Amino acid sequence: MSSTFQGRRLPNPDEEVFDQGLGFDLGTLMGRRNVLRAFGVGAVALGLAACSDSSSSTSSASTSSTATTSSGEIPDETAGPYPGDGSNGPDVLEQSGIVRSDIRSSFGDASGTAEGVPMSLELTIKDLANGGAAFAGVAVYVWHCDRAGLYSMYSEGVTEENYLRGVQIADDAGKVSFTSIFPACYTGRWPHIHFEVYPTEADITDSTKAIATSQVALPKDVCDVVYKETGYEASVTNLAQVTLDNDNVFGDDSGASQLGTATGDVSSGYAVSLSVGVDTRTTPTAGAAPAGGGGEPGGTPPSGAPGGGGPGGTPPSGAPGGGGPGGTPPSGAPPA
C-alpha cells in the first residue's frame, strides 16, 4: 500500500486512508476547501450538487422556477363581444362610479341588483417583468354574466343596467377584491369571469391600453353545488354539455393557469382567488380564442342571453356587434 495520499505522507501507512486519524482528516478537508475557493462559489455549488443524492430533484426545482418566471404569464383571452370597455359599443369605464369593490348593483342612472349566490373575487397581480413582484397600482376591470347568463348593457332586458362590472386598484400586495354573485353557465362556455389589467386608473378609459385581458375559470365541484340553487336551473344542463377540455377558451390547456381556487358554501358565499402573472415585455394578443369546441363555435348563451346562432353569437336586437351597432361579433369570437 502507498505511504502517501495526494502528496501527503500517511501517519499509518499500513492502514486504510480513512483510518489515518483526526489530524490527517482535518488536513484533507481544509485542502479540499481551498481548492473549491479557488474555483469560486459556482464550483462549490457544483460540487455539492454532484455529491448529493437529491441532485436530480434540485435541478428540477431550479428548472421549474425558471419555467414559472418565463411562462407564468396569464394567457391572453378574448374579451368577448360584451366587454363594456368601449371596444364594442357601451363604455362603462367612462362612467363616474366604476371604481368600486361591490359590483352587485348598478350605479349612476341604473338601479338594478343582480341576485344569486354570494361570491367574492380576489386577484393577485404579479409583475413578471420585475421578477414576479406585486404589481401595485394597476387597475383591474372585472365583468361577468348574472345567474341567468345575461350581460348588463348588452342582453335583452338588462341593457339599461351596468351591474357586475367594476374596477379596483391593486394594493401594495398587488391584490384587488370584488364582491359579486356567482355567474351562470350558458351553452357552449365554461363558467368564467372576465378581467382586464391596465397600467393605471387613468388608462381605463382607453381599452387599447390594457396590458392583459384574460378569464378566470370556476371550479366544477363548486359550480355543481351552486347551480342547484334557485335561479341557476339552466346552468345545470349547460354545464353538463361542456368541459374545461373542450371549452373554446380554456380548452387549449384545460385552464391550467386560469382555474380559480374557491372556498365557502352557498349560504355564506364563495371566495374565489387567482394569481395573475402579467408581463409588460410581451405584446397583448387579446381577442384570439384558442382552438377547441364548445358545442357550436363560440357557444350559444341561453334564451334571452347575449349571443346565439353563429360564431360568437349574435347580440340581441339593438346590441352592438363586431362590425357596428347591432351587428354580429367578429367571426370566431366566443361569447363573453
- Whole-angstrom distance, CA of residue 72 vs CA of residue 298: 26
Identify each DSSP E strand in 170-321 by its residue range. Answer: 175-181, 192-198, 212-217, 261-265, 269-278
Q: Look at the chain and count its residues.
A: 336
Cα separations in angstroms, 204 against 48, 183, 199, 244, 324: 51, 24, 8, 30, 22
Lowest-pLDDT choice from 85-89, 123-127, 163-167, 327-331: 327-331
pLDDT surpasses 50 at 30: no
Res 11: pLDDT: 60
pLDDT surpasses 50 at 326: no
All structural domains of the chain, each given as residue ranges with its CATH number in brackets, are: 4-51 (no CATH), 72-278 (2.60.130.10)
- Whole-angstrom distance, CA of residue 125 vs CA of residue 227: 29
pLDDT tens digits, 224-236: 999 999 999 999 9
Give the pLDDT band (50/70/90) at residue 25: low
Give the pLDDT band (50/70/90) at residue 285: confident
Residue identified by cell 364594442 is 88
Res 107: pLDDT: 98
Phi first, then psi: what are they for 48, rounded to 5°?
A: -65, -40
Res 246: pLDDT: 96
**Amino acid, res. 115:** E
Which residue, among 185, 194, 176, has the nearest Cα to 247 in the 3D structure? 185
- Whole-angstrom distance, CA of residue 36 vs CA of residue 45: 10
- Whole-angstrom distance, CA of residue 298 vs CA of residue 315: 13
pLDDT surpasses 80 at 2: no
User: What value does the mean pLDDT of the chain take?
Assistant: 77
Which residue, among 278, 279, 214, 223, has the nearest Cα to 252 in the 3D structure? 214
Res 106: pLDDT: 98
Res 286: pLDDT: 72
Res 189: pLDDT: 97
Maximum C-alpha span of the chain: 100
pLDDT surpasses 70 at 158: yes
Res 99: pLDDT: 98
Strands 8-9 and 4-5: antiparallel
Cα separations in angstroms, 229 against 112, 115, 223: 21, 11, 10
**Paired strand residues for 216:** 193
- Whole-angstrom distance, CA of residue 232 vs CA of residue 184: 6
**Amino acid, res. 330:** P
Average pLDDT over residues 93-101: 97
